[in-house]
Structure 1
């Protein structure tokens, strides 16, 4: 099982009414949430750790997880409100304004998170923790997810997608420290080219940037570049690239999250989701995962909002 740890929120998406006025439609979302439902729809065994409200939006999030076959037994429920993200679009690219103060998601504490290996079945099935998104920005949730990673990093694959939202970061130094702590134990880091520039600067070429991000670790780094596809870098110096399919883009909401779901689902399908297997992954296996990921993401961007495909959508 892959357990996705982080935010689940409501995207307030602008729509034009019949009268020509803009109104907002509440849609389930959040980077980690989107990846969780993407994995469930692709047939992967997946669960989610997140703070979910008991309010009407929290129920909407919970029901969407269940519908997409995500294990909800690790959720932390509370009466605090749901995080809202108001979305605006600029040439199809989404920008977000977050309302997160004292929310159920932000208030998650490590002591509230269930033991992920409480049963013998769980101990045998837990293969990876996936973290990132805005849940690593604000306390106490941010440190709680970092502590969770440290708790399981010795024998569990750690996957990070920071998914930088610069306008939401209040303390850059603390945020960078938290990210660095996860980077040091991560087995896979996925970043967009924009994330990479923010993390290490844009003064070097991409290969050099990846080296600066990885440091002395053997982490696999995957860089997504929108319409220009994605490149995966191994610590050996080998790399593979996959172009993105040519599709009519409606918007990019959830594109990277859906890519992550496709990439991880293919890693699992190839029986590679373990530290030992990832250490000897072949370029052919890696390319297969990239190819699957960009194809899955292409379906999402051809739809409105974050709407990862079901596995049946790939078979038609």
Structure 2
């Protein structure tokens, strides 16, 4: 099972020219969990879920995709809301997060141990920014790094980060724990402003990860290893919006690595070039379908 630990929230997406908002389940790591399940990979989700009506909206897609939620604490605090603004198809967010179910995720909410079925841990997104939830996810990653590979997607939202230095320090600690790190063009620009992509990738690889994935929208995606790089071009589609694109890409790559047995058998570093290309291509195809329709709506396996 690929266990996803990170934010679950409600995206309030504009409709009718922005005069009204439609509530849709979302959150970077939540989207990846749903996408993994839809792609047929065994997936689990770990994040506090409220008892409010919005949480019922979050549970339904997880159940439909077959994602296990038995590790999720159930709490009385409200669900996080994110109001979305779309500009040229690009999504920007305003978060209402203080005192919410996820924001107050604490180490006491973690299970004493993860099930033996967990073969990888996927973390990232805004769940890493504030405390106590950010410290809780970091503590889980530190505890489990020796037990299973960790996939880290910083998914930086600069406007949500009050203390940039503290968040950079946390991400650098997490990079040292991770086996796979995904970095978008926006992530690279925030983490290492003014530096070239390959220079940044080399620095990440020097910190310990076996694989660095870089994405750049229409320019496709690249998998970087110490042995070299592999690039898969993007698929031509008409973009509805980019909500959930990177999250779905992450799920596609992880689903591909699961199918290859690369996660549970520690084969990430020495995967054959063709196998890595196959996993990367699955991520690109899944993301292309996601951006072709409104909202975070990852594809099912039969759509790939």
1:185 shift after superposition: 1.3
Query: What TM-score results when the alignment is normalised by the length of structure 2?
Result: 0.97
1:21 shift after superposition: 6.6
1:116 shift after superposition: 4.2
- Which residue of the other structure, out of 132, 137, 142, is the alignment partner of 1:145? 137
Does the aligned pair in 1 maintain the 2:211–2:269 contact within 8 Å? no
Deviations 1:168-195 (A, max 9, x none): 0011122112111110010000010110
- Which residue of the other structure, out of 71, 77, 82, is the alignment partner of 2:68? 71
Question: Which residue of structure 2 aligns with residue 233 of structure 1?
Answer: 224
- Which residue of the other structure, out of 145, 148, 153, is the alignment partner of 1:156? 148
**Helix, strand or coil at the partner of 2:237:** coil
Question: Which residue of structure 2 aligns with residue 303 of structure 1?
Answer: 293
- Which residue of the other structure, out of 156, 159, 172, is the alignment partner of 1:167? 159
Question: Which residue of structure 2 aligns with residue 220 of structure 1?
Answer: 211
Counterpart-to-counterpart distance in 1, 2:98 and 2:5: 19
Deviations 1:192-225 (A, max 9, x none): 0110121122232x21121123334243100011
Does the aligned pair in 2 maintain the 1:187–1:275 contact within 8 Å? no
**Helix, strand or coil at the partner of 2:105:** coil
Q: Give ranges in structure 1 of 5+ residues lacking alignment.
A: none
Question: How many residues were matched structurally?
Answer: 304
1:88 shift after superposition: 0.5
**Helix, strand or coil at the partner of 2:235:** coil
Counterpart-to-counterpart distance in 1, 2:298 and 2:84: 18
Does the aligned pair in 2 maintain the 1:38–1:308 contact within 8 Å? yes
Question: Which residue of structure 2 aligns with residue 53 of structure 1?
Answer: 50
Does the aligned pair in 1 maintain the 2:210–2:268 contact within 8 Å? no
Counterpart-to-counterpart distance in 2, 1:203 and 1:280: 28
Query: What TM-score results when the alignment is normalised by the length of structure 1?
Result: 0.93
1:66 shift after superposition: 0.9
RMSD between superposed Cα atoms in Å: 1.2
Alignment of 1:116-265 (within 5 A): 116-117=113-114, 122-123=115-116, 125-204=117-196, 206-236=197-227, 238-265=228-255
Q: Say whether 1:33 aligns with 2:35.
A: no
